[in-house]
Amino acid sequence: MRSVVPVLTVVAVIVGLWYAAAVGMNAAWVRDQAARSGTEVSFLDLVPQTMTQERPVLPAPHQVAKGLWDGVTGQKVTSKRSLVYHAWITLSATLLGFGIGTGLGILLAVGIIHNKAMDQSVMPWAIASQTIPILAIAPMIIVVMNSIGVSGLLPKAVISAYLSFFPVVVGMVTGLRSPDRMQLDLLSTYNASRAQTFWKLRLPASMPYLFASLKVGIAASLVGAIVGELPTGAVAGLGARLLSGSYYGQTIQIWAALFAAAIVAAVLVGIVGWVQAVVLRRMGMAR
Amino acid sequence: MIWILAALAFWIGTLLLNVRISHSRFSTTRAGRLVVPAIFGLTILVVWELLVRGLQVPSVILPPPSAIGARIASSLPVLWGDFVQTFVKGALTGWLIGCGAAVLTAIAIDRSPFLQRGLLPVGNFVAALPIVGIAPILVMWFGFDWQSKAAVVVVMVFFPVLVNTVAGLAATDSMQRDLMKTYSASYAQTLLKLRLPAAMPFIFNGLKIATTLALIGAIVAEFFGSPIRGMGFRISTEVGRLGLDMVWAEIAVAALAGSAFYGAVALIERGVTFWHPSQRRQQ
Q: Give first-to-last CA distance, chain A, whole Å.
A: 18
Chain B residues with CB-CB distance to A222 below 8 A: 130
pLDDT score recorded for residue B280: 66
Q: How far is CA A241 from the centre of its chain?
A: 16
Amino acid at A73: T
Q: Alpha-carbon distance A276 to B90, whole Å? A: 38
pLDDT band at residue B256 using 50, 70 and 90 as cut-offs = confident
pLDDT score recorded for residue B153: 92
Q: Do A243 and B118 touch (CB under 8 A)?
A: no
B41 touches A at CB < 8 Å: yes
pLDDT in tens, B67-97: 888 988 988 898 898 888 888 888 999 999 9
pLDDT score recorded for residue A106: 92
pLDDT band at residue B283 using 50, 70 and 90 as cut-offs = very low
pTM of the model: 0.81
B192 touches A at CB < 8 Å: no
pLDDT score recorded for residue A232: 63
CA distance B168 to chain A (A): 19
Q: Do A262 and B258 touch (CB under 8 A)?
A: no
Among A118-122, B96-100, B144-148, B219-223, top mean pLDDT goes to B96-100
Query: Is B267 exposed, middle or buried (CB count within 10 Å of its CB: 0-12, 13-18, 19+)?
Result: exposed
Q: Is residue B282 over pLDDT 60?
A: no
Q: Is residue B265 over pLDDT 70?
A: yes
Q: What is the signed CA dihedral for B99, B101, B102, B106, rounded to 10 degrees?
A: 140
Chain A residues with CB-CB distance to B220 below 8 A: 135, 227, 230
3-state secondary structure (DSSP) of residue A285: coil
| B33, B48, B92, B239, best to mutate vs chain A, most A CBs in 10 Å | B239
CA distance A124 to chain B (A): 7
Report the chain B residue with the minimal C-alpha distance to residue A58: B137
Cross-chain CB nearest to B258 (options A11, A133, A269):
A133
CA distance A215 to chain B (A): 9
Q: In the A/B pair of chains, how many CB contacts fall below 8 A?
A: 172
Interfacial B residues in 11-30 facing A (CB < 8 Å): 15, 18-19, 21-23, 27
pLDDT score recorded for residue A95: 93
pLDDT in tens, A95-124: 999 999 999 999 999 988 888 777 777 877
pLDDT band at residue A1 using 50, 70 and 90 as cut-offs = low
Q: State the maximum Cα–Cα separation within chain B, in Å, rounded to a whole number.
A: 80
What whole-number percentage of chain A has pLDDT above 70?
A: 97
Judge contact between B13 and B43, C-beta under 8 A.
no
Chain A residues with CB-CB distance to B121 below 8 A: 3, 7
B266 touches A at CB < 8 Å: no
What does the mean pLDDT of chain A come to? 83
**Could you tell me which of B163, B149, B169, B160 has the C-alpha nearest to residue B208?**
B160
pLDDT score recorded for residue A94: 92
B157 touches A at CB < 8 Å: no
Report the chain A residue with the minimal C-alpha distance to residue B136: A246
Q: Do A140 and B247 touch (CB under 8 A)?
A: yes
Q: Is residue B131 over pLDDT 50?
A: yes
Report the chain B residue with the minimal C-alpha distance to residue A246: B136
What whole-number percentage of chain B has pLDDT above 90?
A: 9
Q: Is residue A233 over pLDDT 60?
A: no
CA distance B196 to chain A (A): 25
Interfacial B residues in 120-139 facing A (CB < 8 Å): 121-122, 125, 128-130, 132-137, 139
Rounded average pLDDT over B136-155 = 87
Q: State the maximum Cα–Cα separation within chain A, in Å, rounded to a whole number.
A: 92
pLDDT score recorded for residue A275: 92
pLDDT in tens, B182-213: 999 888 888 888 888 888 888 988 898 888 88
pLDDT score recorded for residue A98: 93
Rounded average pLDDT over A162-181 = 86
Amino acid at B200: M
pLDDT in tens, B229-247: 888 888 888 877 878 888 8
pLDDT in tens, A21-66: 888 888 777 778 788 877 777 777 777 777 777 778 788 888 888 8
Rounded average pLDDT over A191-195 = 89
Report the chain A residue with the minimal C-alpha distance to residue B244: A140
CA distance A91 to chain B (A): 13
User: Could you tell me if the ipTM is greater than 0.95?
Assistant: no
pLDDT score recorded for residue A286: 65
